[in-house]
Amino acid sequence: MKLWSALSALLLALFAPTLSFAQPKFDAQHVGGPGSGGDAELWMPANASGKVPAVVVLHGCDGVGKHYSDWARLLQSWGYAALVIDSFGPRGQRNVCNHGGLIPPSERSKDAYRGADWLRSLPNIDAAHIGVIGFSHGGWTVLNLVLRDKMAAAGGTVPFAAAVAYYPGCEHAGSPLVSDTLILIGDADDWTPLENCTRWRDAVQTDDHVLEMTVYPGARHAFDAPGPLHKYLGHLLGRDEIAAPQAEAATKAFFAQRLMPR
C-alpha cells in the first residue's frame, strides 16, 4: 500500500505541470451552444429578456454526458444560463473514475472561476448572480473552490453567489467559506461516504456564509442520475425516486433565493 501511494504521488507530480497548462478555453471559438462539443457549452434560457443569472455546471468523473445536459436543460427551464464546462477533453482525458487525482479539484476550480469570469463578460448575463453546481468529482471541486485559500490558489477574484455539491468527495476543510453552500448526499453512498462530508461540514469555518447539508436515507451515489441501481467500478449507484425530486426541489429553492434578483 505504501509503495502504491508513493507511485501515485510520483505520477501526480509528473503529470501536474502538464495539466496546469492544458485548460479549457473560454472564447467564441471554443464555447458553443448545446451539443457543440466545445470546451464549454452555453445553454441560454428561452425568451430571456435583459440580463439573466447563470450557473456553471461541473461534470462527474465520467466526463460530459447526458446527465449534465439534462441538468443544463433543467437550469435553463428555471431561467438560468447554464455553462457546462468540459474539464477533461482539453486535458486529453475522457474518464477519471477511480483515478480522480489525474485532474484534481485544484485544476477544475480554475476552470470554474475562469468560466464565471467569461460569463461576466457577456452582455446578457447578470454578473452579480452566478452560481455553480457539481456532481461527484465536480462536487468535490465545488467544495474546493468555496474555500477562501483554494479560491485564491485557483485565481478566483469574485466568489460564486451560491454553490451546490451533489454527493461530493469531502476533504481538506478548514478555510472559511466564500459562498453559500449546499451539500446533497445519500447515507448509503459507498463511493463518497457521508462520514467524510459530515467531518468536512463540521470542520469548515463558515465566516458568515450559509452551509447546509441534506442527507437522503438509503440513497446511493448518483441518486439523481437516470437508470436503475447498478454496479460501476465496484460501487453501487443509480437513481433514487424519492431523493432525486427532493434534491432537485432543494437545488431550485437554494439557487432562486440567491441568484434570482428580487
Which set of grid coordinates corresponds to residue 21?
Answer: 497548462
Using the structure block, give the residue that is written with the C-alpha cell 485565481. Answer: 155
Determine the average pLDDT of the residues in 188-202: 97
Whether residue 119 contacts residue 56, with contact meaning beta carbons closer than 8 Å, is answered with yes
**Domains of the chain, each with CATH number or no CATH:** 2-259 (3.40.50.1820)
Of 91, 186, 70, the C-alpha closest to 136 is 186
Residues in the chain: 262
* Stretch 80-104: mean pLDDT: 96
Give the pLDDT confidence score for residue 257 in this predicted structure.
Answer: 98
Residue 95 has pLDDT above 70, yes or no: yes
Please report which confidence band the pLDDT of residue 6 belongs to, taking 50, 70 and 90 as the band edges: very low
pLDDT at 2 over 50: no
How confident is the model at residue 255, as a pLDDT?
A: 98
Place of cell 460564486: 160
pLDDT at 84: 98
CA distance 225 to 69: 11
**pLDDT digits 0-9 by tens, 209-220:** 999 999 999 999
pLDDT tens-digit map of 14-68: 444 434 458 999 999 999 999 999 999 999 998 878 899 999 999 999 999 999 9
Residue 221's closest CA among 71, 97, 99, 50? Answer: 97
Which DSSP string corresponds to 4-39? HHHHHHHHHHHHHHHHHH-----STTTEESTT--SS
pLDDT at position 17: 42
Cβ neighbours for 51, distance < 8 A, ≥ 6 positions apart: 123, 124, 125, 126, 127
Whole-structure pTM value = 0.91
Distance CA 155, CA 96 (A): 24
117-171 tens-digit pLDDT: 999 999 999 999 999 999 999 999 999 999 999 999 999 999 999 999 999 999 8
